[in-house]
Structure 1
Amino acid sequence: MDIRRRNNVTITGPADGPVVVLAHGFGCDQNMWRAIVPALAERHRVVMFDYVGSGGSDLSAWTQERYSSLHGYALDVVEVCQELDLERAVFVGHSVSAMIGVLAARTAPERIGALVMVAPSPCYIDDDGYRGGFTADDIDELLASLESNYLGWSSAMAPVIMGNPDRPELGRELTNSFCATDPDIARVFARTTFLSDSREDLRSVSVPTLVLECSQDVIAPREVGAFVHAAVPGSRLVTLDATGHCPQLSAPEVTSDAILHFLKELL
C-alpha cells in the first residue's frame, strides 16, 4: 500500500532539519495547521498527514473495524513514520490526536522521541475525582444528535468548539471542515473520540512532553490540562493566551512560539 497517498502525506521545511509530525483532531485535516507551519518549517522538517477517512486521505482504505478504536489511528501514525523512516520525531497532536500520539509512541518508541499535546483530553466524561467537561448524558445526547443529523450538528457545534464568537470566520472554517467529512465515517470517529478513556495510558509516557492548554476551552477545560500534566511524568504544562479548542488557528503565534521553545530545549 502507498502510505503516502493513503494518508495524503505532505512534507515541508529543510530536509536535514529535526522532524516534527503534525496530527489533526476529529472532523479536521492537516489544513488546520497551516497558520503555524511557516514558523515551524524555518528550521524543522514538518510532516503532515490526514488520518484515513479525513481530508485528502484514501477513503477506500477506511474500515469501521480498524477505526472504531484509537489504536487504529495510532497505527496510521506508526505506518507514516515507518514509511518515512523517521526516528525520534516530535509528534504534535491536537485534541484526540494527543492521546493517539501516546499510543503511537508506546507502539513504536524508536519513531517518536517527544510529544506536544495541544488541547488534549484523555477522557471527556466526568468521573469520581475527575472533570472531563461532560456528563455521560451530555455525551449520549451529543452522539445521538450527531448520528441523527450530522450536518446540523456540525453547524451548531463547530462554532462552540472553536470559540472566539467575535471572529465568526473561524467557526465557519471548522464547520466547513466538519461538513466535508463523510457522515458515516465521522459518526464512527466521534464515538471513538468521545467515548475513549486514555487516562491510564498517560502513565506510560516516557518521552519529553509539552501540554498546551487554552485559557478557556469548552472541550478540554483547564482541570483536564492539570490532570494530563500530573499524569505524565516530567511533563511541562503551558497555558496559552488563547480561547477555544483550536489555538493553532485562533492564536497561531503564541501556539507556534510555545512549540518552538520546547523544540529548542530538546536540541
Structure 2
Amino acid sequence: MIFAHGFGCDQNMWRFVAPAFEEDHRVVLFDHVGYGGSDLAGFSAERHSTLDGYARDLLEICRELDLERAVFVGHSVAAMIGVLAEIEEPERFERLVLVGPSPRYIDDADYVGGFSRADIDELLESLDGNYLGWSGAMAPVIMGNPDRPELGEELTNSFCRTDPAIARQFARATFLSDNRADLPRVRARTLVLQCSADVIAPTQVGEYVHRMIPGSELVLMEATGHCPNLSAPEETVAAIRAFLRS
C-alpha cells in the first residue's frame, strides 16, 4: 500500500492510518519533493509545474521498489496524482483510494468545483504575498473541526515547515489543474472517500469523481473537514478495510 499526502503536508499525516495495514501489506510512505524529509535538490521548476511531474515521481518510486498491483491511497491533490500515475502505468496499481479528491477546484459551466476563478486568484496572490500568514489563516479552515483547534494548529505548522517557493508552485499546479477528462480513463478499482463540510472538495465534487470513474465506489463519511486521516482515522481505516475486502 502506498500512502501519498496532500498539499502542505508530509507522510506523518498518515501516522494514524497507515500502521493499521502493516500486518497485511507492505506499507510505503514518502514525501513529495519539497515536503517533509525529501531532498530539495529533486525539485524542478519545469517538471513540477504540473501534477504530471508529481505523478512521474510516484512512478519512479514504484519502479525503484518494483511495486505492482499496489493499493494507492492519495489524500487531496495526491488523489489526482495517483489517477495520472495509474493511467500511465496501470499495472502498478490494483486499487485506488481517493481521499477528498478534486479534479478541478474552479467552477465551470455545470461543474461545481467549490471556487470561482477570482477566489483562486485571490488565494494564490495571498500565498505569494505572505506565505506564513496565508498558512496561519487557511490551515484551520482546510482542516475544519473548529472544536479541535489542535488539528488546525498541526496543519498550520506543517504548512509553515514547507519551502515557500516550492509551496507556491505546488499550489498553482494544484488549484489551476483540470483533470476531469482523465477520470474515465481510470481502470483500477476505486474508492472515493468524501467528507462532510469539506470547503476544499465539496460533496458535489466527490459525487462527480464517483460518476466519472467507471465502477467506482463512494463513501460519504461522517468526518468533517478535509483531512479525515487526522480528524477521523478510525472511520478512514474502516472504510478502506471494507473496500479492500470487497
Structure 2: any 5+ residue segments left out of the alignment? Answer: none
The alignment status of 1:250 with 2:231, answered yes or no, reads yes
Task: Work out the CA distance in 1 between the residues paired with 2:207 and 2:88.
Answer: 25
Q: Which has the higher contact order (CA 8 A, sep 6+)?
A: 2
Is residue 90 of structure 1 aligned with residue 65 of structure 2? no
Asked if structure 1 preserves the Cα contact closer than 8 Å seen for 2:90 and 2:187, the reply is no
Q: Trace 1:114-133 onto structure 2 (pairs within 5 A).
A: 114-133=95-114
Q: Give the TM-score normalised by the residue count of structure 2.
A: 0.99
In the other structure, the counterpart of 1:38 is 19
Question: Which stretch has the larger CA shift, 129-138 or 32-41?
Answer: 32-41
Aligned equivalents of 1:219 and 1:78: distance in 2? 26
Amino acid in structure 2 at the alignment position of 1:77? L
Separation in 2 of the partners of 1:119 and 1:71? 19
Measure the CA separation in 2 of the matches of 1:224 and 1:58: 33
Correspondent of 1:113 among 94, 99, 102 = 94
Q: Give the unaligned 5+ runs of structure 1.
A: 1-19
Judge conservation of contact 2:3–2:18 (CA < 8 Å) in 1.
no
| Cross-structure match for 1:179 | 160
Regions of 4+ moved over 2 Å: none
Secondary structure of 2:107 counterpart: coil
Query: Partner of 2:142 in structure 1?
Result: 161
The separation in 2 between residues aligned to 1:157 and 1:189, in whole angstroms, is 16
Query: Percent sequence identity over matched residues?
Result: 68
Match of 1:52 among 33, 39, 58: 33
Determine the structure 2 residue equivalent to 1:22: 3
Mapped to 2, the partners of 1:194 and 1:38 lie a distance apart of 30
SS in structure 2 opposite 1:211? Answer: strand
The counterpart of 2:181, out of the listed 185, 193, 200, is: 200
Q: What is the alpha-carbon distance in structure 2 between the residues aligned to residue 209 and residue 26 of structure 1? A: 21
Q: Distance in 2 between matches of 1:92 and 1:124?
A: 20
Q: CA deviation at 1:39?
A: 1.3
The match for 2:56 is 75
**Larger CA deviation: 129-138 vs 108-117:** 108-117
Deviation of the 1:42 alpha carbon: 2.6
Give the alignment's Cα RMSD to 1 decimal: 0.7
The one of 186, 190, 202 aligned to 2:171: 190
For each residue in 1:245-264, what CA deviation from the matched residue of structure 2 results, as whole angstroms up to 9, or x when unmatched?
Answer: 00000000000110111112
Q: 1:227 aligns with which of 204, 208, 213?
A: 208
Alpha-carbon distance in structure 2 between the residues aligned to 1:53 and 1:81: 19
The DSSP-based 3-state class of the residue aligned with 1:22 is strand
Taking the aligned partners of 2:245 and 2:108, their CA distance within structure 1 comes to 37
